[in-house]
């Protein structure tokens, strides 16, 4: 199986959910830049400059590339050193970033060991899913919308209370879909397509059906 799996998709496409399933199944490291940024936000040891850069996240904008590379590359190297593969979830959100990651993979000698999986979803369905999902105030776990999760008020893992993620308000969701929706994703996917690194799955299906399609793809792209 490829060592680096890059999951691409609009906010709400299910990248995080699929990344967690794959990480558990294959013992891969799961790197969500959104999670790394939210962790930085609550880290008392984080520098004032780094914290200031997080304002962009709170307003639904992309944060500075330099911060993303610093956080993500360090994590990737640490998993590779442990002999683990890596799943990148939401870590690439512009063509510039895609190019910078590819340069990094070339430097590490692993560019042929990278597969990009596009979890395709319309902005409309992404919007609906984001307005309905929840996050645990305790451990930060994100619960995708399912009829079962909709009933829950506390986290299965830590017992923390389930709340709406602070950037999942209708206003900020709309902003994120403008800044990070399919219109912004298209040139990044085109870039990977030209390099022959890209495969697609239909993200509008149920979680388990998307997972099965991803599995098939992984077996076909060893």
Binding site for ligand AMP (CB under 6 A): 11, 32-34, 37, 56-57, 60-63, 68, 90-93, 97, 167, 176
Catalytic, out of 128, 165, 175, 184: 165
Q: Could you tell me how far CA 75 lies from the centroid of its own chain?
A: 14
In whole angstroms, how close is the CB of 170 to ligand AMP at the nearest point? 15
Nearer to ligand AMP, 92 or 114 (CB): 92
Sheet with strand 114-120: strands edge to edge: 29-32, 86-89, 4-8, 114-120, 198-202
Residues 196 and 5: their CA atoms lie apart, in Å, by: 14
Catalytic, out of 15, 38, 129, 134: 15
In whole angstroms, how close is the CB of 83 to ligand AMP at the nearest point? 25
Tell me the CB-side half-sphere exposure of residue 173, using CA atoms within 13 A. Answer: 20
Please say whether the beta carbons of 123 and 12 come within 8 A: no
165 catalytic per annotation: yes
In whole angstroms, how close is the CB of 38 to ligand AMP at the nearest point? 7
Nearest CA to 133 out of 37, 13, 40, 21 is that of 13
15 catalytic per annotation: yes
Catalytic, out of 2, 38, 134, 176: 176
Nearer to ligand AMP, 183 or 212 (CB): 183
Residues with a catalytic annotation lie at 15, 93, 133, 165, 176
């Amino acid at each position: 199986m490829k060592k680096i799996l890059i999951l691409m998709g609009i906010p709400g496409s299910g990248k995080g959910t699929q990344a967690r399933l794959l990480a558990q199944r294959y013992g891969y490291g799961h790197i969500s830049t959104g999670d790394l940024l939210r962790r930085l936000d609550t880290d008392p040891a984080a520098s004032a400059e780094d914290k200031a850069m997080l304002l962009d996240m709170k307003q639904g904008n992309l944060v500075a590339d330099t911060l993303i590379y610093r956080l993500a590359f360090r994590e990737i190297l640490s998993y590779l050193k442990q002999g683990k593969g890596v799943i990148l979830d939401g870590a690439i959100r512009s063509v510039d970033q895609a190019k910078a990651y590819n340069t990094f993979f070339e430097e590490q000698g692993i560019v042929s060991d990278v597969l990009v999986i596009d979890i395709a979803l319309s902005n409309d369905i992404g919007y609906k899913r984001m307005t309905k999902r929840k996050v645990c105030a305790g451990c930060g776990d994100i619960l995708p919308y399912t009829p079962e999760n909709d009933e829950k008020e506390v986290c299965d893992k830590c017992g923390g209370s389930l709340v709406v993620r602070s950037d999942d308000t209708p206003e900020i969701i709309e902003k994120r879909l403008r800044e990070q929706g399919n219109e912004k994703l298209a040139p990044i996917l085109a870039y990977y397509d030209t390099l022959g690194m890209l495969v697609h799955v239909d993200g509008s299906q149920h979680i388990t059906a998307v997972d099965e399609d991803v599995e098939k793809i992984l077996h076909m792209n060893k």
